[in-house]
Amino acid sequence: MAIKDYIRERFFPHMWCQGCGHGIVLNCLIRAIEKLGMSKNEIVLASGIGCSARIAGYVDFHTIHSLHGRALAFATGIKMSKPELCMIVPMGDGDALAIGGNHFIHAARRNIDMTAIVMNNRVYGMTGGQYSPLSGQGTLATTAPYSNIDQAFDTVELATAAGASFVARTTAYHVQQMTDMLRQAIMHEGFSVVEVLTQCPTYFGRKNKLGAAPQMLEFFKERTTPIGSKAKQNDPSLIERGIFVQKDMPEYCAEYEKIIEKATGRAAAKGN
């Protein structure tokens, strides 16, 4: 299938600002799906609310644009009723880890088969640049004009500690790596988390004087490094990119199916 067959052309032009990284994620996601040769009828994309969540409007899969912070809850319900479908859940950092933080850790703990994409632009883009749990101490936001005093979550460490069986990080600059990571995450049977460091030039970039999109992408190029690189040993402040966790673990829907079989087998034996 051609790339354009996976998108809803009637909803373009998109609503993202010039230079926003969310379109890059959409592009890589569609390329990953095209590489897997998947039919659009076998994919469900569930999103919450946010600039990132608007991806749900642009792809021609089964889609649901639900409630802020609740994408994983909707996705869990859909996946449990139709486990044969491939579930993809793109979320902003606020959507995934502020209001949606509880859903995130429990979906990871259950190891339910879906791909959670955390589009981390370190800000609430859609609502005007408030700080998020990923903004980090010392950053500026419309709600932190004198500097943010909150420490940031490390998405990779959080997902790993909560039990996700596939955990990876990349950036909007590293498009080939992102496409390949998304492909692997979709193929993985279990809860997959792909954190994508991405740019919101309109709010995070402008408030923090980081320049326009090209400079923000340059930052991702210069300040990240492959996992375990020599550069990281020399400069611990560099952010690592790559696949941190990839392991086989019992998957939630498969385990639930066993329970159904046990219960129905017992009922049949009793003659019910």
Ligand X SMILES: Cc1ncc(C[n+]2csc(CCOP(=O)(O)OP(=O)(O)O)c2C)c(N)n1
Integer Rg of the chain from CA:
19
Strand arrangement of the beta sheet that strand 43-47 belongs to = 62-65, 43-47, 86-92, 114-120, 191-197, 166-171, 239-246, 224-226
Our finding on whether 125 is near ligand X (CB under 6 A) is yes
- Among residues 132, 135, 148, 184, which is the contact residue for ligand X, using CB under 6 A? 132
Contact partners, residue 15, CB within 8 Å, separation at least 6? 51, 54
Q: Mask: binding to ligand X, 49-78, rule CB under 6 A, as x and -?
A: xxxx---------------x----------
Shortest distance, position 22 Cβ to ligand X, whole Å: 6
Which among ligand X, ligand SF4, none contacts residue 170 (Cβ within 5 to 8 A by kind)?
none
The stretch among 10-18, 91-99, 217-225, 252-260 that binds ligand X (CB under 6 A) is 91-99
| 26 touches ligand X by CB under 6 A | no
Nearer to ligand X, 123 or 185 (CB): 123
**Token pair for 74:** 């909707």
Residue 124 interacts, among ligand X, ligand SF4, none and using kind-specific CB cut-offs from 5 to 8 Å, with: ligand X
Which DSSP string corresponds to 193-243? EEEEE---IIIIIHHTT--SHHHHHHHHHHHEEETT-HHHHH-TTSEEEEE
User: Which is closer to ligand SF4, CB of 190 or CB of 201?
Assistant: 201
Number of residues in the chain:
272
| Residues lying near ligand SF4 in the complex (CB under 6 A) | 16-17, 20, 22, 51, 121, 125-126, 200-203
Query: Whole-number minimum distance, CB 20 to ligand SF4, in Å?
Result: 3
Burial class for 175, CB neighbours closer than 10 Å (0-12, 13-18, 19+): middle
Residue nearest to ligand X (CB): 92
Q: Which of 168, 158, 45, 186 is nearest to 102 (CA)?
A: 158
Summarize as ranges the residues that interact with ligand X (CB under 6 A): 49-52, 68, 92-95, 99, 119, 121, 123-127, 132, 200
